[in-house]
Amino acid sequence: MVHSMTQPTWVTSKDESRELMAVWPDIVRDLTEVCQHSDIPNISKWIAKVLQYNVPGGKKTRGLALVYAYKMLVSSDQITEENIRAIRILAWCVELLHAFFIMIDDIQDRSQFRRNQPCWYLHNDMGLAAINDSLMIESIMYQLLRKSFSGKNCYVDLVETFQDITLKTILGQSLDLQSTNFGKMPNLNLFTMDRYNSIVNYKSSYYTFILPVTVAMHVAGIKDQEMFRQAKTILLEMGHFFQVQDDYLDCYGKPEITGKIGSDIEEGKCTWLVVVALQRVTPEQRKILEECYGISDPEKVRCVKQLYNDLGLMNMYSMYEEETYNLLNTHIQQMSRGLPHGIFLKILEKLYHRES
């Protein structure tokens, strides 16, 4: 039953993040116990090490969104200590899936830093062995999900949601890699806004926004498919907003705040910045992009950034952010199917003017 009374006051992100972290030691214990086998010595210690390095250090945006959404979807009598603990475990399932994605993504993009530390594949010269560790994290996430939810009515819906969105994210990653021509010189003719939108939806929006809210809806017992459809529509719009911000921060963000060094230009990524630039360039300016974009050379990267500045992309981004924020606010207010607007307004508030 969707909560139709006055919505509870949001706890601060700091408070809920602290509560989420309080559950983390139990998550590590449960996951290492699940994987204990007498004929695989020391595997539990290794799993604990992989988990501690790769999972809890982020902002936990996705996990927190799940907890917030659940609290707003159910009536106050369902917000019990037992239920909230289960939801926090589920939030860690989302964070484990996120860790799996970014560990693989860092290898494919040859990234250097993540969350102010070397990417896992670079940690102690781990190399491609990190691929197996990422797959291990994905697999044990399902073990945690089964241990905590297999007896609940929503279990099949949860498993199918995680599987479906994992596939969509992998398809999005494939489209992204094809756009970069697999690390070779990209074909800028492919860099259209339609292609960019598809990459964003599949690679980022589904698992960052649709996954946590949809999972919360399943646990809350929602069955109305129109409610899921409306949620998906607005969350895809938010995902686009989020990824445009990410593209901007990759180029203009401060590494000490973002926790990573931007590399989209060197990697030849199909980003909002280059797509908009291609819509505005003169033939001479396009030649600069064709000669410099997708090459790991500091001088060529500087030329691309200078071109972005000449085209006024920083100002265009500022206008985009304000217009999109206002448009999303309007769309949220127009939702009519009984979903609490506060879920989406809270997420939007977290996105507005973010710096990391």
Query: Which residues are known catalytic residues?
Result: 59, 100, 105, 109, 114, 176, 203, 242, 246-247
Nearest to 105 by CA among 204, 197, 187, 242: 204
- Region of residue 188 (left: phi > 0; alpha: psi -120 to 50; beta: else): alpha
Nearest to 138 by CA among 239, 54, 68, 198: 54
The DSSP-derived string for 285-347 is HHHHHHHHTT---HHHHHHHHHHHHHTTHHHHHHHHHHHHHHHHHHHHHT--SS--HHHHHHH
Taking CA atoms, 172 is separated from 50, 139, 202, 213, 239, in Å, by 25, 20, 4, 20, 13
Taking the C-alpha atoms of residue 69 and residue 347, their distance in angstroms, rounded to an integer, is: 9
∠ CA 191-193-194 to the nearest 5 degrees? 100
Tokens of 324: 């999109």
Tokens matching residue 184: 């070779």
Q: Tell me how far apart the alpha carbons of residues 14 and 92 are, in angstroms, rounded to a whole number.
A: 16
DSSP designation for 205 = I
In angstroms, the CA 173 to CA 207 distance is: 12
Place of tokens 């594949």: 121
Q: Quick check: helix, strand or coil at residue 204?
A: helix
